[in-house]
Structure 1
Amino acid sequence: MTRAAIASVVLMALAGSAGPANATGGIESLITDIDRQRLAAFDETRTRAIAVARARGAPADIAQLDEILDGDPVSFSGADLTGNWQCRITKLDGPAALVTYSWFRCRITESGAGLYLEKLTGSQRVTGHFFDDGDKRLIFLGAGHYSYEEPLPYPQNNERDEVAFAFLLDDGRLRLEFPAPHLESRFDIMELRR
């Protein structure tokens, strides 16, 4: 499938999104062109970053990545994502081929605009909203900030903008996958567990 065809599919999916997006005027009015492009290239970016991480990462780090990537996506229907979570970030295909950081605290709450994620601890944080994108996938739109700053709204139209696909896994974990983040790597994974 060509990049143009993939972009068209993603844009149609975004335009047809329901749920929390309706409370904010629709995801199509929020998402930036750059973030649309990042989602359109998701599969290609993910495949390349994982290949580089497996080729250049340390064996123990690769084993940990395999654990993070384990699990099959399940339906979000009826799932209660609200509450406190532990979360950690894994960065692939950056200055380091593969690095996984320690666990931090995250929280998901119900806001007037739908489900809202906050990374509460660590020097680099992110906040943002989830939007429906089918039965087994959500889109996350957020903005990064540092611990000494107030959270930023999406979009910032700069390197602070964060976009990801989110998957609920059969073991209860939540995994956000960020294609082509602006800083430090080609692909990030945020793993959340209770």
Structure 2
Amino acid sequence: MNLELPTPESRDSASLVGCIANRRSCREYSEAALSIDVLSQLLWSAQGITGSDGKRATPSAGGLYPLYLRLVVQRVADLEPGIYEYLPDTHSLKRVGDHIPKGAVHKLGIGDQPWLEEAAFVIGVTAKLGDTVRHFESQLPQGERGARYVYMETGALAQNVHLQCTDLGVGCVLVAGFDDLKTKETLALRSDLEPTALLCVGSKRNG
């Protein structure tokens, strides 16, 4: 059974200019759990449906929306630790894996990146990379144009999440240095999905 998330806020929030000015990467998190409302808002800002025509919060080349989100939940109130898939159409979560053993998330990073383990949750951004490459194969340079679009889309998603975190007062950092194979295994990804980014989110240690 899927878990329906709280309705995301659509009220006016902090000014966009203020969020851009105050956005900072945060790599130090406290052991406090985050609320499921915060998780809901961040997932909506990343891939939420924002219009009756199915448009999403993040722009997508050709309207393909090849990105899929997998969550490593470590400390979220009212949510069991484990691996979850975000379902934008219903703004809900589907549990796809059990709690990850201590230290396993840390091992996803290239080099020592303790924030992966210390974050309240990690948003794994994944993509149907092959499908997008094939869709845009007529555009030069062949085999590369579609991949560029996917990574541009990933960047737009990451910035949305960063700015929403700034508004909510929680910490966030983008991790691009990760082991692809270990990440695919840990997130239990289908063979047609490739990881493109990891976003660590947590309560700021000094905030």
Give yes or no for TM over 0.5. Answer: no
Greater fraction of residues in strand = 1
Greater fraction of residues in helix = 2
Q: Which has the higher contact order (CA 8 A, sep 6+)?
A: 2
TM (normalized to structure 2)? 0.25
TM (normalized to structure 1)? 0.26
Which structure would you say has the larger Rg?
Answer: 2
